[in-house]
Structure 1
Amino acid sequence: MVYITEDMVRRRAEHNECEIFSLEEVSLHQQDIERIEHVDRWCRDLRILYLQNNLIPRIENVSRLKKLEYLNLALNNIEVIENLEGCESLQKLDLTVNFVGRLSSVESLRHNLQLTELFLVGNPCTEFDGYRQFVVASLPQLKWLDGTEISRSDRIRASQGLEEVRRRVLEQEKEHLRRRAREKEEAQRKAEGEEKGNKERKAGFDGRCPTLEENKEKEEEEEKTTSLLDEEQREREFWHTPCSFTPESRLEAHRHLEEKRRAKEKEKEKKPKAPRTLITADGRVMNVNEPKLDFSLTEDGENNTVVLDLAVYRHMDTSLIDVDVQPTYIRVSVKGKIFQMVLPAEVKPDSSTAQRSQTTGHLVLTMPRAEGEIKVTKTVPRPPRACQNRRRRWPQDNKRKNNVPERLEVDPSKNTTLDLANIVPRQSTREGPLETSRTTPPAATGRSSFSEGFVDNPDVPPLI
């Protein structure tokens, strides 16, 4: 049984920023709902309510919707028109293809003074003799009945002989109620017989509880005897066997479809789909087109590029597309489905571009071709000499580990490119010695560089 939940209503209020207290229109059709509830408390400002194509057997919990103007309850299991007196603003009521047999219940709509349109097509009451005259006479505020305008002459004819029409309608209504009582009894007996048969099949035909071995043997036999042809035959018998058009038969058909759907889901759970192979064990790339999209792969000789045009769905959001360009193949994920293709030539993934057409929605990939082939180079082993040199460096590595300071030594005798002669500039290229030669001590040059009034005190220690 499906219930009306707050989450269900909020998901249908996206146009109202998911706010349900101020919602004016909500559509809850095709949800297999079996009862109207909560809507009158959550959405007091509702003006339009769609509940068609469900399994609702009764009109209830809508009397608080004072602003409700249109109520659609087509294709449900309603048998009586009731509980609509509180809908003061109701202008249109659609009860197409229901099971309304109590035509006298139409008189409950007299309090809905704003009601102008009523649809009862496909209900048993429309087959009553004097149906249209009775409805037109009972609801003077109506302007349209079953899509046909009510003229002034129709009202005059409906008012003439109204008592006779009412008497005939009530007689046909009583006959309909007796027939419905028989149909309910037959449906109840059928349901009890099916339940009893299910219990017998589970417990065994001899009435005793079978053992585990007997259960296993029985299940194996049933699996062997059951085939696809038998299932098709049972389906054909179920849908082609004539039955009366009643709420019970409609519920039975719904349950049958629901069981079939659940059986398919169980089969899928038992047999999970094996993942598709994109790249084989030996490294061969497979061509895959899971979304079944049209495509075209061309080579542009002038621009030296490879162009892939993928016919992606026009109104699909681009965030649902993921592109992966490799040198030898292209992989595109469209809503989780993989499209993969081997390229005719090696391309440059970093220079490739992906664009989406705003008119057609196609995905266009432009991939420039690589100039040369990509090959794997073999690693050349080092000669033994390199290993010896590495062994010779081990003591130095140990010093580095022990944090021993090292000094950089420059040996001029070796072939070095360092020119120490040009570090200090000369005054002239002809003088020869450097400028620093003037600062040599007196012992080396034979003269003092001190001033004339300088007195050397031997008690004063030297500066350096």
Structure 2
Amino acid sequence: MVRITELLVRKRSEHNEGEIYSLEELSLHQQDIEKIENLDKWCRELKILYLQSNLIPKIENVGRLKKLEYLNLALNNVERVENLEGCESLQKLDLTVNFVGELTSIECLVDLPHFRELFLTGNPCTNYDGYRDYVIATLKNLQQLDGQGIEKSERIKAIQEYSEIRNKIIRQQNEYMKKREKEREEELKKQEGKNKVKQEHKPGFDGRWYTDINNTLDVNAETQINETINDSPKNDEKNREELEKEFWEEKVPFTPESRMQVHEHLQELKKRDEKKDESKQTKQPRRLMTDNGQMLNVNEAKIDFSLTDDEENNQYVLDVSTYKYLDTSLLDVDVQPTYVRVTIKGKVLQLVLEEEVKADSSKARRSQTTGHLLISMPKAKHLIQARKVSPPKQTFNSEPKHDGHKDNKMKTVELLEVAPNGNQEMDFGNIVKEKTDVVKAPFESKVFQKPVERPNSEDFVDDPDVPPLL
């Protein structure tokens, strides 16, 4: 049985920073709760309360919730509407798919001034002849019943025939109550029979009690006990499957008792599965080395990688293709002189190195774009390489050779000296040659000479008022 504890309520009030005294909305659905308790003491400010999909058989301990506006008890085992007279602010009540057969119990909602909506879909009382008219005539402030609006003409007609409808409802209700009583008795007998069968087939017990300790069992009883004990382990799994099939194929009435049986059966299956999981052997850890201490190559993470030998920098470079959005806290790198181990979310990638490396000088860094993990591991042995010598300066002589070989035109390659004598300063102003009147046009076009000004004539008069020619 699941109880409504303070810890459970605080866990469900995270949106209110765990405070329960000022809590206005609380959701306790699908918790297998079998009793409403303590909420009227701890959460007096509640306005909305969700208790659907539980095993609650009775509405209780909510009368002091004066500010409660909405109560959801759908998919429970409620058989009558009760103990809601003190919920002065109640506006909506949801009892969908319950076992309300005593329809006259809704009269406890008559004095609630703000009550507007009621849901009774899926209850036995909805099958009564005159069900809707009775509810509408009884709850005069009701605006919606089972999700359908109530019209004025419908209410007036129901009020006019109220006395007749109520008598009809009471007769049908009494018949249902008698039927429920028979179902309870049959269920009680059925449970007693099951308990008796279990007791009779209990290993080591033949159904009889022995008062004399010195008495010995007769041969038949002893044989029966031995057969029961021996056959039990062999056929346990087979019998269990048959019983499971019979349980789900058995036709039973939809009652609170049958719903409790299904719940208990599911709980037993859950416990059985948990025991199986506990009995299973734990998975053996991955072997990372042989019995003689030799390390192994392991890729338990099944991830892509590349290990290259960087001879130029005398180091090994390991590139592990870790996921781009994998948190770095889930990665662990361990570099040893002869191997490197990368743990990714608890799974190991281990590689054996051909040469020893400097573990202290190794570096691991993560790419911010691809997410790859790059590990640089310098080798312990230094690599001796030949020193690179620049090629000698070659001079080419233009003088011909006289050794009988063919003459080769050779040129001397010299560097440009800014100041040949060293003491003289370079005259940067005379680097460019003097300007000439001849202007060379690009792209081997015609050469244009600079135009020469024509001298003025003898009768030329320079009048300053005349604007110059453009």
TM-score normalised over the length of structure 1: 0.69
2:378 is the alignment partner of 1:368: no
Mapped to 2, the partners of 1:230 and 1:356 lie a distance apart of: 59
Mapped to 2, the partners of 1:200 and 1:148 lie a distance apart of: 55
> CA shift at 1:212, angstroms?
11
Task: Decide whether the 8 Å contact of 2:321 with 2:372 is kept in 1.
Answer: yes
Task: Decide whether the 8 Å contact of 1:329 with 1:343 is kept in 2.
Answer: yes
- What amino acid maps onto 1:79 in structure 2? E
Cα 1:365/1:245, change in 2 over 3 Å: same
Match of 1:222 among 225, 228, 232: 232
> CA shift at 1:312, angstroms?
6.7
Task: Decide whether the 8 Å contact of 2:23 with 2:46 is kept in 1.
Answer: yes
Question: Which residue of 2 is the match for residue 204 of structure 1?
Answer: 205
Question: Which residue of 2 is the match for residue 353 of structure 1?
Answer: 365
2:330 is the alignment partner of 1:329: no
Task: Decide whether the 8 Å contact of 2:32 with 2:55 is kept in 1.
Answer: yes
> CA shift at 1:371, angstroms?
5.1
Task: Decide whether the 8 Å contact of 1:278 with 1:285 is kept in 2.
Answer: no
- What amino acid maps onto 1:100 in structure 2? V
For residues 22-33 of structure 1, what are the structure 2 equivalents within 5 Å?
A: 22-33=22-33
Task: Decide whether the 8 Å contact of 1:296 with 1:310 is kept in 2.
Answer: no
- What amino acid maps onto 2:102 in structure 1? R
- What amino acid maps onto 1:368 in structure 2? I
Q: Deviation digits for residues 48-98 of structure 1, max 9, x if unmatched?
A: 111111110000000000011111111100000000010011111111110
Cα 1:300/1:55, change in 2 over 3 Å: farther
Q: How many residues align?
A: 356
> CA shift at 1:350, angstroms?
4.9
> CA shift at 1:215, angstroms?
6.9
- What amino acid maps onto 1:308 in structure 2? S
> CA shift at 1:184, angstroms?
0.1
Cα 1:326/1:121, change in 2 over 3 Å: same
Question: Which residue of 2 is the match for residue 390 of structure 1?
Answer: none
Percentage of identical aligned residues = 43
Tell me, which stretches of 5 or more residues in structure 2 are unaligned?
211-216, 311-315, 383-470
> CA shift at 1:186, angstroms?
0.6
For residues 152-191 of structure 1, what are the structure 2 equivalents within 5 Å?
A: 152-191=152-191
Cα 1:60/1:312, change in 2 over 3 Å: farther
Cα 1:159/1:230, change in 2 over 3 Å: same
Cα 1:300/1:185, change in 2 over 3 Å: farther
Cα 1:354/1:115, change in 2 over 3 Å: farther
Task: Decide whether the 8 Å contact of 2:96 with 2:123 is kept in 1.
Answer: yes
Q: Deviation digits for residues 296-342 of structure 1, max 9, x if unmatched?
A: 556899996614233778xxxx59x5321234332123xxxx33334
Mapped to 2, the partners of 1:147 and 1:179 lie a distance apart of: 29
Would you tell me which structure has more helix in proportion to its own residues?
Answer: 1
Question: Which residue of 2 is the match for residue 145 of structure 1?
Answer: 145
Q: Deviation digits for residues 112-131 of structure 1, max 9, x if unmatched?
A: 21111111111111111111
Question: Which residue of 2 is the match for residue 416 of structure 1?
Answer: none
Mapped to 2, the partners of 1:201 and 1:355 lie a distance apart of: 68
State the secondary structure of the residue aligned to 1:2: coil
Mapped to 2, the partners of 1:197 and 1:33 lie a distance apart of: 30
Task: Decide whether the 8 Å contact of 2:365 with 2:375 is kept in 1.
Answer: no
Mapped to 1, the partners of 2:73 and 2:368 lie a distance apart of: 44
Task: Decide whether the 8 Å contact of 1:62 with 1:83 is kept in 2.
Answer: yes
> CA shift at 1:132, angstroms?
1.0
> CA shift at 1:178, angstroms?
0.7
Mapped to 2, the partners of 1:189 and 1:198 lie a distance apart of: 14
> CA shift at 1:102, angstroms?
0.6
Question: Which residue of 2 is the match for residue 56 of structure 1?
Answer: 56
